[in-house]
Amino acid sequence: MYPKSLETLIECFKILPGVGTKSAQRYALLMLEKSDEEIQMFAQALIDAKNNIKPCKICGNYTEGDICDICSDDTRDSSTICVVQSFKDVIAMEKTQEYHGRYHVLNGVISSVKGIMPQDLNIDGLLKRLDGIKEIIIATSPTLEGETTAMYLANILKDKNVKVTRIAHGLQMGSHVDYVDELSLIKAMENRKEM
């Protein structure tokens, strides 16, 4: 139906989450209407992001340098670490403007179904950061995998002389932190409990 190069472009847009065939067709056709300069800028932005963005050496958050802006910010509370599943969760938590500590990004959650085990996550990096830490806030999503990961972390941290709390379940089971509104996240942080 479409020329081969257009079909390839449509298939590329379909790899994005939530983009079905019709949306992918719309995006691809829209791109054909853009100027060469706009297309070059778009393509270069993708290449630059892929080549320049990497995990922070301390927390695993995305950064263009070796250390992210949050880890290098001396005004943040360095005695508290909020453990999240992904970079998207850091963004969601930062939107609340209520949390002023540090983060640790796990890069996923334990899922035996998907073959993701504790050694596949950034847990060793967290254990290396415990010196001077008073509280670890576990902010994984309240899904089966998120709860499994939270319980695993609480278990390995119980003898580490650090308070371990879990964000409150003002979040619905099955929801994802990065999709929750700011007010719900604020309430969840305020009502966290020790594990």
Other beta carbons within 10 Å of 156: 14
Which tens digits make up the pLDDT trace of 115-124?
A: 999 999 999 9
Strand partners, 87: none
Q: Residue 108 region, left (φ>0) first, then alpha (ψ -120 to 50), else beta?
A: left
Is the Cα dihedral 21, 50, 60, 76 positive or negative?
Answer: negative
Token pair 């449509």 is at which residue?
10
Q: Given pLDDT bands bounded at 50, 70 and 90, which one contains residue 171? A: low
- Average pLDDT over the chain reads 91
β-pairing verdict for 54-55 and 101-105: unpaired
pLDDT in tens, 74-115: 999 999 999 999 999 999 999 989 999 999 999 999 999 999
Torsion of CA 174, 179, 183, 185, to 10 degrees: 60
Domains and CATH numbers, the chain: 4-52 (1.10.8.420), 73-194 (3.40.1360.10)
